[in-house]
Amino acid sequence: MKRIKKIGDIELENSLFLLETFNVKNVKAKSFSTLDGGTIIYESVKRDNANLITLDSKNGGWIKEETLVKIVSLADNIGKEMPITDTNGNSLMARFRLEDRDVITVSQIYEGSEWYKVVLKMAKI
C-alpha cells in the first residue's frame, strides 16, 4: 500500500496510507463468446473509483495539530490543485473532494494530545 508523505508543500510527520492503491473494484464490461470460444468485449466503462484518493492515518500515520491546521486551510480553497507525494518521491495532482461529506475526518489520539488520526478524501486531477 502506498504511503503519502507530502500534501502540496506540507511535509507530514508520518506517512498516510493511500487506501485505493490496489483497489480495482467496479470494473464494468459486457463480453460475448464466439462460436469457437473466443471472447469479445462489447463495452467497457472506466472504473468508478479511478479518481478517488482516500488518505488514512490508520494506527501509525498520526498528524500533529499544527500540520492539521495547514491541511484544513488547503481544503478551504475550493478547487485548489496540489501535488501529493509518496514515500518513493512519485507525485500526482489532486484536490480535496469537497463534493463529498466529511472531506476531513479527525479524531484526537487521546484527550489533550497534539496528535490526531485523520482521513482525507481527495480526487485525482
Task: Tell me the one-letter amino acid at 95.
Answer: R
Is 96:80 a contact under the CB 8 Å cutoff? yes
Helix, strand, coil shares, percent, the chain, to 5: 10, 50, 45
Which residues in the chain belong to E strands, given as ranges?
A: 3-7, 10-18, 28-33, 39-45, 52-56, 63-64, 82-86, 91-96, 104-108, 115-124
Task: Tell me the one-letter amino acid at 66.
Answer: E
Q: Strand pairing partners for 95?
A: 123
Tens digit of pLDDT at every position of the chain (125 positions)? 899 999 999 999 999 999 986 655 555 667 778 888 888 776 555 545 558 899 999 988 999 999 999 999 999 998 899 999 999 999 999 999 988 889 999 999 999 999 999 999 999 98
Indicate the domain borders of the chain.
Answer: 3-124
Q: Which of 25, 18, 13 is nearest to 1 (CA)?
A: 18
From the options 3.40.50, 2.40.50, 1.10.150, 2.40.30, give the CATH code of 3-124.
Answer: 2.40.30
